[in-house]
């Protein structure tokens, strides 16, 4: 099969450390890629990326993709069937009428909106996290920042890139839901809350209303504009890429993560477990009340998603595995890290269901869900705990999901949320069957790991672009993913073991009961 640029689709995602471009063919399989490393900078106390970095990084990732296409197929990219952009969600980019960014891009990492987030959460009776765009906007108003009267448009990173390439001020509903709450009945911004916000800021006499400065929210599959001549030049300064290519609604990394793990249907979800861990569960209905531990966003199709995010997952586990590596090296042994992880992780399966009375906290940094500003990794036991290697490894696997379990129990036990299946991806699941078994115990839900979960968000946004241009009449995104992307893909599914579930519940009581020990460590160490 020869290469056909006119049937190929490009997805680009701006991650926190890498900008990745992926090209897929008419079968939606990745055929070429290019990437660019970048870093956020702390300037005047604000985490940011400069606009120069955005464009030079995008152009470099695209250029490397074209070089990959040239090397593999001996072809030049002059056209494409569709393009999609994705980026880290949330943050704040306010523009004036001249289209100038008035303050440096404030990313999701900033925790400078505490007052705004708290006041808006109370006003809306809805959890507004600090990283959401509306929290940034309201904090700027509370701070009486000079730029607020001149705001003509606010957007997020992928919304900005999409606007520059198409002239369209739009955003996918998944990302829109991380800017301002979305009403799942209308699948658009919550009008009641918009009115409440306008009333709240009325005394400031600003010349705009909130609904006039937000990007238009679009659902997956809707047309979101085409590449302009100026946009083509911005993406490909060589001038080879032609204008007129359709773009799909730009989406946040949470949405592309749901797409590339096929977890956008209600009662499904995905867990990404690596350095940090988050779970996203697609709900059948709204929660009964707001919770600070749970962020509400939506799928790219506008279904409500509950998100539990924890800062700490595998760092402490990996640190202990490295101690065993040093032990082996001290004996002059050759160390195969895959084998070492495999042996130690599998040893955990031989431990007592509840880890034999051992307790550990994996807090390298603070953990919002359990109320910690900073953390101290900690391992604690009583004189009569069953202290052996199996329980030691088991407790460090369990605690890597401890804070996540505290958040998920709100959904599963207090709210009675039903989950049929969970898709796991990330480093915790590398050793076959072990992290998966622990996750199944923590959630009391079958957990599947796909062989292709490594393609990531750039592939996810390419699939959303493909859905827009390749979907059949009336074909939903769920059906498109099930029938055209993931059909026939073998995933390994592990069902929860009743003994493990009971053991995890016993462990989590010990974990919650021992949080004062962690507090004492933070205070005294």
Over residues 379-404, the pLDDT tens digits come to 999 999 999 999 999 999 999 999 99
Do residues 284 and 196 both lie within one domain? no
Residue 168, domain member (yes or no) = no
Do residues 385 and 440 both lie within one domain? no
Residue 30, domain member (yes or no) = no
CATH number for the domain harbouring residue 198:
3.30.420.40
pLDDT of 166-184, one tens digit each? Answer: 999 999 999 999 999 999 8
The residue-averaged pLDDT of 100-120 equals 93
Residue 22, domain member (yes or no) = no
pLDDT of 436-455, one tens digit each? Answer: 999 999 999 999 998 754 56
Contact 117, 75 (CB under 8 A): no
For tokens 């009743």, the residue is 498
Name the burial class of residue 99, with classes exposed (0-12), middle (13-18) and buried (19+) by CB atoms within 10 angstroms of its CB: exposed
Task: Note down the domain range covering 444.
Answer: 262-311+405-486
Residue 302, domain member (yes or no) = yes
Do residues 505 and 380 both lie within one domain? yes
Q: What is the pLDDT of residue 1?
A: 53
The residue-averaged pLDDT of 26-33 equals 93
Number of independent structural domains in the chain: 3
Tokens at residue 511, please?
Answer: 């974990």
Do residues 416 and 442 both lie within one domain? yes
Q: If we measure between CA atoms, which residue out of 192, 261, 260, 214 comes closest to residue 92?
A: 214
Tokens at residue 21, please?
Answer: 């471009």
Q: What SS3 class is residue 477?
A: helix
Q: Distance between CA atoms of 424 and 434, rounded to whole angstroms?
A: 12
**Which is it for strands 9-14 and 82-87: parallel, antiparallel or unpaired?**
parallel
Do residues 475 and 333 both lie within one domain? no
Name the burial class of residue 55, with classes exposed (0-12), middle (13-18) and buried (19+) by CB atoms within 10 angstroms of its CB: middle
Residue 83, domain member (yes or no) = no
Output Rg (C-alpha) for the chain, integer angstroms. 24
Q: What is the pLDDT of residue 111?
A: 83
Secondary element (H or E) of residue 442: helix 434-443
Contact 79, 7 (CB under 8 A): no
Residue 64 binned pLDDT confidence (cut-offs 50, 70, 90): very high
pLDDT of 311-344, one tens digit each? Answer: 899 999 999 999 999 999 999 999 999 999 999 9
Do residues 364 and 427 both lie within one domain? no
């Amino acid at each position: 099969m020869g290469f056909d640029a006119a049937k190929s689709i490009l997805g680009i995602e701006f991650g926190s450390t890498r900008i990745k471009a992926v090209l897929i063919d008419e079968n939606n399989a990745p055929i070429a890629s290019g990437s660019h490393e970048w870093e956020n900078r702390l300037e005047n106390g604000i985490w940011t990326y400069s606009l120069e970095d955005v464009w030079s990084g995008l152009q470099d990732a695209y250029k490397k993709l074209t070089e990959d296409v040239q090397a593999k197929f001996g072809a030049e990219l002059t056209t494409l069937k569709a393009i999609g952009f994705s980026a880290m969600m949330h943050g704040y980019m306010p523009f004036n009428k001249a289209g100038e960014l008035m303050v440096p891009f404030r990313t999701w990492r900033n925790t400078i909106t505490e007052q705004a987030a708290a006041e808006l959460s109370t006003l809306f009776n809805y959890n507004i996290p600090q990283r959401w765009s509306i929290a940034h906007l309201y904090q700027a108003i509370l701070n009486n920042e000079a730029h607020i009267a001149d705001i003509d448009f606010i957007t997020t990173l992928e919304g900005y890139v999409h606007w520059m390439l198409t002239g369209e001020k739009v955003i996918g509903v998944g990302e829109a839901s991380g800017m301002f709450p979305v009403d799942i009945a209308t699948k658009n911004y919550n009008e009641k809350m918009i009115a409440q916000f306008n009333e709240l800021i009325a005394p400031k006499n600003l010349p705009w209303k909130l609904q006039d400065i937000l990007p238009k929210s679009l659902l997956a599959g809707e047309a979101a504009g085409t590449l302009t001549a100026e946009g083509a030049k911005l993406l490909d300064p060589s001038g080879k890429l032609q204008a007129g290519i359709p773009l799909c609604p730009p989406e946040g990394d949470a949405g592309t993560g749901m797409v590339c793990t096929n977890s956008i249907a209600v009662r499904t979800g995905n867990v990404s477990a690596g350095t940090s861990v988050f779970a996203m569960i697609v709900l059948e209905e709204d929660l009964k009340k707001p919770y600070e531990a749970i962020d509400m966003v939506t799928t790219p199709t506008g279904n409500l998603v509950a998100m539990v995010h924890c800062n700490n997952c595998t760092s402490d586990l990996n640190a202990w595995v490295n101690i065993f590596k040093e032990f082996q090296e001290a004996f002059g042994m050759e160390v195969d890290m895959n084998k070492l992880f495999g042996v130690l992780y599998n040893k955990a399966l031989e431990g007592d269901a509840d880890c034999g009375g051992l307790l550990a906290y994996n807090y390298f940094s603070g953990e919002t869900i359990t109320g910690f500003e900073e953390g101290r990794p900690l391992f604690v036991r009583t004189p009569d705990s069953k202290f052996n290697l199996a329980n030691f490894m088991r407790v460090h696997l369990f605690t890597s999901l401890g804070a996540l379990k505290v958040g998920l129990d709100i959904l599963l036990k207090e709210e009675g949320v039903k989950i049929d299946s969970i898709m796991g991806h990330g480093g915790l699941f590398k050793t076959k069957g072990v992290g998966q078994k622990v996750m199944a115990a923590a959630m009391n839900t079958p957990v599947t790991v796909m062989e292709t979960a490594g393609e990531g968000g750039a592939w996810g946004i390419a699939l959303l672009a493909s859905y827009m241009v390749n979907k059949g009449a009336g074909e939903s995104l769920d059906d498109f993913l099930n029938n055209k992307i993931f059909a026939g893909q073998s995933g390994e599914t592990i069902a929860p073991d009743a003994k493990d579930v009971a053991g995890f519940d016993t462990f989590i009581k010990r974990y919650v009961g021992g949080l004062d020990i962690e507090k004492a460590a933070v205070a005294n160490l």
